[in-house]
Structure 1
């Protein structure tokens, strides 16, 4: 199995969730072994997608270098990671990736418009060998576990009548991602949105790009896309955050009430001990390569 990039460059213009300003973004193909790279064209700064370049995880995953940042990268990366793209340059003219409709479905369409190109070098993946977890005092947990498959399992528990307890088990494939994960939108509570705007954030947030709830109900007139859209979006975010590993994951991600911050701590902890993982070559690892071949089988290119 070979590394992947996109077949041609594609552009999009959208609004940033927090600053609320227009952002032009272009996705460009890259050669083998170049990874995912963000380029702030307005600043002339290149920021490779690496764990050590994460500078903030409070409201979104933010990477930066030399005081230049790119924020809210997780939805784009979720789609890029789901489609198995290893090498890509993201050229952007502001400090925030466009939010689009609050999901990653627009990025799936953009990737399919660009097409997928196989490169000359073999694809690598990160295989989880030992359980690694982060657990907080209030019961939140994120973990990576060994598995022959690619699995994301997430549960949430909100004291809100429209959310409550939800869990979702996702067996990875591109077709399943498109159908069951990519359309799930980000969500927020009205009182939080009002506070965020008072401190200069969420300026681009609206019911056009998020599910908004008051104390008792969902305010979006169209309602939900899935009955459990909230937990599905948490998986969407987690897939984007796992892109920081630098390799496609072979293993199980398991979380209860996880967050961008906990995901960042998890990726750091995994790499602290080389016994936790193995970097495998999918030209040589036949069993794992078969898993990816099945997962990629229905992708359009």
Structure 2
């Protein structure tokens, strides 16, 4: 059996933008890391020093507005999911992520800018064999009417995501996605965060989402899409939920060999399901990975059938 090897970045690449909540400028630099280190955020110049946090499930301290990582002293970086999705989606195993503010820049609301940064930095193969977390048995969680489940799947990592919103412009959508660098780049990386105008207005009035705009969010009212350029995909909303799944589950610390199903989920459900999986030591094992197999993507879109409140990814995560 031929084994695939771990990867990291050849050099550094920097992106600059604004934080979605503060609206303030922030700079983020991705760069190389040694084998078996996974992803490490380095918060630069915080109280005169740099602080590190490894991007793992036990570093998550909040999931209401986005995925927030921190330590005993408090939060260090929020909205971590998009850059993590780009790294995991493009097949990068080990990386450092330096950031000079409390939020990963929102960029255009997708992972496209971070994929471009990975391309700029380049990917190199390392000496150690790639290890993956193999799901051995089903693990399920439910939060209200939200449902998440891991189950064994031999073909790599598969995400099966369903959303269902009362807004008829979004409605009921589902997407089945088999992860590879090619499929992530083509089908998922450009899908933007989304929400309703009344939710955005409430967040603005409460002092949140000050960096949100039509340049980084897909925004609907009750009858129409407000972005003049339109959607990038007919089912862009569920594709963005897949993007969030890839980023949130990167916090496993290793690529996952298995399938994950999410129904009406979001950051909170993703983290709860991942925590449940990792807590059951009989539900997984770490194995060395075979060379990646060809993957495929299947999508379908339906109409809304049940009610629900839409929340933008920069608002409370209620799906």
Q: State TM-score, norm by structure 1.
A: 0.93
Match of 1:63 among 55, 69, 74: 69
Counterpart-to-counterpart distance in 2, 1:197 and 1:87: 36
8 Å contact kept, 1:45–1:68: no
The residue aligned with 1:20 is 23
Q: Describe how 1:88-99 pairs up with structure 2 within 5 A.
A: 88-99=95-106
Match of 1:199 among 198, 201, 206: 206
CA RMSD of aligned residues (A): 1.1
Counterpart-to-counterpart distance in 2, 1:34 and 1:255: 28
The residue aligned with 1:148 is 154
Counterpart-to-counterpart distance in 1, 2:294 and 2:10: 21
The residue aligned with 2:134 is 127
Counterpart-to-counterpart distance in 2, 1:112 and 1:239: 18
The residue aligned with 1:236 is 243
The residue aligned with 2:11 is 8
Question: Gaps (5+ residues) in structure 1?
Answer: 283-288, 296-301
Counterpart-to-counterpart distance in 2, 1:121 and 1:130: 27
Counterpart-to-counterpart distance in 1, 2:91 and 2:201: 37
8 Å contact kept, 2:15–2:114: no
Give the ranges of 4+ consecutive aligned residues of structure 1 lying more than 6 Å apart after TM superposition: none
Counterpart-to-counterpart distance in 1, 2:54 and 2:65: 21
The residue aligned with 2:317 is none
The residue matched to 2:191 in structure 1 has which SS? Answer: coil
The residue matched to 1:225 in structure 2 has which SS? Answer: coil
The residue matched to 1:269 in structure 2 has which SS? Answer: helix
Question: Gaps (5+ residues) in structure 2?
Answer: 296-319
Are 1:107 and 2:114 counterparts?
Answer: yes
Please state how far the C-alpha of 1:227 moved relative to its aligned partner. Answer: 0.7
C-alpha distance after superposition, 1:74-97 (max 9, x if no partner): 011111011121111111100000
Q: Describe how 1:211-290 pairs up with structure 2 within 5 A.
A: 211-282=218-289, 289-290=290-291
8 Å contact kept, 2:31–2:121: no
Are 1:42 and 2:54 counterparts?
Answer: no
Please state how far the C-alpha of 1:188 moved relative to its aligned partner. Answer: 1.1
Please state how far the C-alpha of 1:68 moved relative to its aligned partner. Answer: 4.0
The size of the alignment, in residue pairs, is 287
The residue aligned with 1:51 is 57
Match of 2:34 among 31, 42, 65: 31
8 Å contact kept, 1:12–1:25: yes
8 Å contact kept, 2:162–2:238: yes
8 Å contact kept, 1:71–1:97: yes
The residue aligned with 2:309 is none
Please state how far the C-alpha of 1:136 moved relative to its aligned partner. Answer: 2.6
Counterpart-to-counterpart distance in 2, 1:156 and 1:51: 24
Instruction: Judging by fraction of residues, say which structure has more helix.
Output: 1
